[in-house]
Amino acid sequence: MKKLLIMMVMGVSLAFVMPIMAAGDASAGKSKSAVCAACHGVDGNSPSDMFPKLAGQGEGYLIKQLADFQSGDRNNAVMAPMVAALSEQDMADLAAYYAGNTVTPGAVSEDLLNAGKTLYRAGNKESGVPACMACHGPTGAGIPAAKWPALAGQYSTYIEAQLKAFAGGERSNDLNDMMRDIASKMTESEMKAVAAYAAGLH
């Protein structure tokens, strides 16, 4: 819990000390997003749970993910070639466009609702898993200033896949191993339950 508190303070503080990137132009981003639409949908609401929804996500988080895909800090064979030629301005424009759109609400699986709600709101003290809402907010809106992502409305299968990737070390672009540390303490049933609950938040 102490580590989580330190990370939260650091995350919010970084928002004020990091150099300011070029402001994104949503109109330009809309034009540039045409190549992204096949997987992520015209407005960032992906038509398939194979790909994440980008609509309504924080600009800073989207820019970081694009930059991480480009640098290799986040490894993905599909995204790497898609972002290879993007400039910082391209990333800012795309992020501004998707951030300005509204995510379509997700559905909550009733059989997982209670278990997911408990973990999301209170964590698991026995295993040391903190409440997800501490970083992702009570409504799943995330904390844009700290570049912590929104989960509300995201596909539950995508959230679950990312938790598994963090737990297994396949995804490692989290600040100070925070998500890797948390996910590694979660059971697969906890991941599935909290993913289902978070997806239904709005």
Domain-embedded: residue 13: no
pLDDT for 24? 95
What per-residue confidence (pLDDT) applies to 110? 84
Tens-digit pLDDT profile for residues 127-167: 999 999 999 999 999 999 999 999 999 999 999 999 999 99
Of 130, 134, 192, residue with least CA distance to 163: 192
Confidence check: pLDDT of 22 > 70: no
Looking at residues 120-125, what average pLDDT do you find?
Answer: 98
What CATH number does residue 170 fall under?
A: 1.10.760.10
CA angle, residues 134, 136, 140, in degrees to nearest 5: 125
Task: Band the pLDDT of 15: cuts 50, 70, 90.
Answer: very low
| Tens digit of each residue's pLDDT (9 = 90 or more) over 26-45 | 999 999 999 999 999 999 99
Q: What is the DSSP letter of 104?
A: P
Report the Cα–Cα distance between both ends of the chain, in Å, rounded. Answer: 26
The conformation of residue 51, written as its DSSP 8-state character, comes to S
Which of the four pLDDT bands, split at 50, 70 and 90, describes residue 21?
A: low
What pLDDT does 109 receive? 79
| 28-46 core/surface letters (b: 16 or more CB in 10 A; e: else) | bbbebbeebeebbbebbbb
Domain carrying residue 36:
18-99
Domain termination residue (choose one: 99, 124, 143) = 99
Sign, CA dihedral 121-102-70-78, equals positive
Does residue 87 sit within a domain? yes
pLDDT at 50 over 50: yes
Mean pLDDT across the chain: 91
If one counts the domains in the chain, the total is 2
Give CA–CA dist 63/12, Å, rounded.
17
- Is 8 among the domain residues? no
Q: Is residue 112 very low, low, confident or very high in pLDDT (cuts 50, 70, 90)? A: confident
**What is the helix (H) or strand (E) element at residue 118, kind and residue range?**
helix 110-122
Q: Among 132, 149, 147, which residue's Cα sits nearest to residue 54?
A: 149
- Mean pLDDT of the 83-104 span: 98
Question: Is the domain of 34 the same as that of 89?
Answer: yes
Our CA dihedral for 186, 188, 189, 192, rounded to 10 degrees, sits at 100
| From 11-15, 68-72, 75-79, the region with the lowest mean pLDDT | 11-15
pLDDT of amino acid 187 = 98
Note whether 78 and 116 are same-domain residues.
no
Q: Note whether residue 177 is domain-resident.
A: yes
pLDDT digits (tens, 9 = 90+) for 169-197: 999 999 999 999 999 999 999 999 999 99
Say yes or no: 169 and 112 in one domain: yes
Q: Above 50 in pLDDT, residue 47? A: yes
Which residue, 99, 116, 145, sits at the end of a domain?
99
